[in-house]
Chain A
Amino acid sequence: MANTMQFDLVSPERSLASLEATAVQIPGADGDMTAMPDHAPTITTLRPGLLKVESPEGSSEYLVTGGFAQINGDSLSVLAEKAIPVAEVTRSHLDDMIAEARASHEAAKGGDDQTIVDDAAKLLADMEALGTHMSL
């Protein structure tokens, strides 16, 4: 059994990481999951959250929003609309994201589709929880 897998993290603007990883914790839409080598092929969408990468060289964390992850057993690709290494995340990044989530929540409230309102509310809560978690 291989004990590492090829991990790629790409955003539309650039490729952020491409390395051999032993485990990657993915903030999936239905809950966090950790992908390790020989994981069953899976495609999952992401919710805004932290992506934790464990590799023989050490671990790293990225803040990701919307997108999806494709697990292939021997490789894992994460395509995030926005991905920022945690070290570079500042309060203002988060404020922007929270403001955006809040705006979409407000916009959704006007409509009558309850699921959209719930989704937006959840997104907002996720964002705020993230801020607390990172103690910014």
Chain B
Amino acid sequence: MPNLKDLKNRIESVKSTRKITKAMQMVAAAKLRRAQESAEASRPYAARFNAVMTGLAASVGGSDSAPKLLRGTGSDDVHLLVVMTAERGLCGGFNSNIAKLARAKAYELQAKGKTVKILTVGKKGRDAIKRDYGDLFVGHVDLSEVKRLGYTNAQDIAKDVLSRFDGGEFDVATIFYSKFVNVVTQIPTAQQVIPASFEDDASGDDSGAIFDYEPSEEAILADLLPKGVATAIFSALLENGASEQGARMSAMDNATRNAGEMIDKLTIQYNRSRQAVITNELIEIISGAEAL
């Protein structure tokens, strides 16, 4: 039976933990709103971009003159996994879910005899994968100094990936991130960016129009494909940002609630012990008086 002082200390410590988690939850909620706003602001660009690329890729994609970024290198022996996670922890299963997906993919590819290379974005994912696949790391992008994600961050990552592609370091690149659905649901997602594949998710309203291209279709495609990689990475980063805050918010909400329950339980225990002590003292006094 812990004594009263221990219990009291314990309650105080849980209370301060609750204060911290509550504060973190509120900070995450505020950041989530901002992250969601920027994710939404980027959607029109990505949607239009993909719509145009889908049309272009469909008309040029079949030919042999199509750029490598669209057609691929002709083999798929070397895979680059770009694992994008958060720089900070305490956000529930967010980082570990992405890492798990990436690990499963790496395992699957290795089982097929492919070479796997891993590029990590964000410290937490790197730590999570290091133990199993640390020897496969080819690079790391640190975003811990970045206050507000900008398109330039995505461009830098894309530039890194593209220069490796041009150098013939890999054939297929896949990015791993978490898609934001709502505060409680984030789906870890793998998306292939090189060779580019464009899903036909556009409403298809302009599919009927025949466009003039200036300069040629091929030149436009060659110009836009690298931008497509940057765009994909940018939207992944933003989705990730929103997912991270969402995950942290619900994790901290849980933690706050658990702390509250713990405090209630400890308080009851504390009161009971106090009562027992008082009763004990009374008994001692009474029996002492009776003995006289």
Q: Which residues of A are interface residues toward B (Cβ below 8 A)?
A: 8, 10-15, 28-30, 33, 40-45, 66-68, 70, 72-73, 77, 79, 81-82
> When the two chains form their complex, are residues B211 and A43 in contact, meaning their CB atoms are under 8 A apart?
yes
When chains A and B are docked, how far (Å) is the Cα of A15 from the Cα of B43? Answer: 9
Which of A14, A43, A44, A67 neighbours the largest number of chain B CB atoms within 10 Å of its CB? A43
Residues B187-235 near A (CB distance < 8 A) = 206, 209-215, 219-220, 223-224, 227, 230-231, 234
Instruction: Determine if B154 and A12 form an interchain contact, defined as CB atoms under 8 angstroms apart.
Output: yes
Q: Do A45 and B220 touch across chains, with their CB atoms under 8 A apart?
A: yes
Task: From the candidates A12, A43, A66, A82, name the one contacting B214 in the complex (CB within 8 A).
Answer: A43
Question: Is A44 a contact of B52 with CB atoms below 8 Å?
Answer: no
Across the two chains, which residue of chain B brings its CB closest to A15?
B44
Residues of chain A lying within 8 A (CB to CB) of residue B209: 41, 72-73
Contacts of A70 in B (CB 8 A): 48, 52, 206, 211
B38 interfacial by beta-carbon distance below 8 Å: yes
B residues in contact with A41, CB < 8 Å: 206, 209-212
Q: Ordered nearest first, which 4 A-B pairs have the shortest CB separation?
A: A44-B214, A12-B151, A42-B212, A14-B41
Q: A11-B151, A12-B151, A13-B151 are in contact. Are A43 and B220 (CB under 8 A)?
A: yes
Chain B residues with Cβ below 8 Å from A28 are 214
| Inter-subunit contact A81/B151 (CB<8 Å) | yes
Pick from A45, A66, A67, A79: contact of B219, CB under 8 Å: A45
A66 to B212, CA, bound (A): 19
Is the CB of B17 closer than 8 A to any CB of chain A?
Answer: no
B133 within 8 A of A: no
**Which of B206, B209, B214, B231 has the most A CB atoms < 10 Å from its CB?**
B214
Q: Report the separation of the CA atoms of residues A12 and B213 in the bound assembly, to the nearest whole angstrom.
A: 22
Is the interface on chain B under 10, 10 to 19, 20 to 34, or 35 or more residues?
A: 20 to 34
- Chain A residue nearest to B37 (CB atoms) is A14
Are B42 and A42 in touch, CB under 8 angstroms?
Answer: no
Residues of B within 8 A of A44 (CB): 213-215, 220
Query: Could you list some 23 contacts between A and B, CB below 8 A?
Result: A11-B45, A12-B45, A12-B154, A12-B230, A13-B38, A13-B150, A13-B151, A15-B41, A15-B44, A29-B214, A29-B223, A41-B206, A41-B211, A42-B211, A43-B52, A44-B220, A68-B223, A70-B48, A70-B52, A70-B206, A72-B209, A79-B52, A82-B151
Question: A42 with B213: in contact, given A12-B234, A68-B224, A79-B45 (CB under 8 Å)?
Answer: yes
Chain B residue at smallest Cβ distance from A73: B209
Give the Cβ gap from B60 to chain A, nearest Cβ, in Å.
12
User: Nearest chain-A residue to B38 (Cβ)?
Assistant: A13
In the complex, A33→B214 CA distance in Å? 11
Interface check B49, CB cutoff 8 A: yes
Q: Which residues of B contact A72 (CB under 8 A)?
A: 206, 209
**For B227, what are the chain A residues with a Cβ–Cβ distance below 8 Å?**
66-67, 81
Closest to A13 in B: B151
**A43–B44 contact, CB under 8 A?**
no
A28 to B213, CA, bound (A): 11
Residue of B nearest to A33 (CB): B214
Q: How far is the CB of B35 from chain A (nearest CB, A)?
A: 13
- B196 nearest CB across to chain A (Å): 16
Q: How far is the CA of A135 from the CA of B45 in the complex (A)?
A: 31
Q: How far is the CA of A79 from the CA of B219 in the complex (A)?
A: 17
Contact A30 B45, CB 8 Å, known A12-B231, A41-B209, A70-B52 = no
Q: Report A-chain residues with C-beta under 8 Å of the C-beta of B213.
A: 42-44
CA distance A117 to B41 in the complex (A): 35
In the complex, chain A residues whose CB is within 8 Å of the CB of B56: 43
Chain A residues contacting B212 (CB-CB under 8 Å) are 40-43
Among residues of A, the one whose C-beta sits closest to the C-beta of B56 is A43
Given contacts A11-B151, A68-B220, A79-B49, 17 further A-B contacts (CB under 8 A): A10-B44, A13-B151, A15-B45, A29-B214, A40-B212, A41-B209, A41-B210, A41-B212, A42-B212, A43-B52, A43-B212, A45-B219, A45-B220, A45-B224, A66-B227, A68-B223, A70-B211
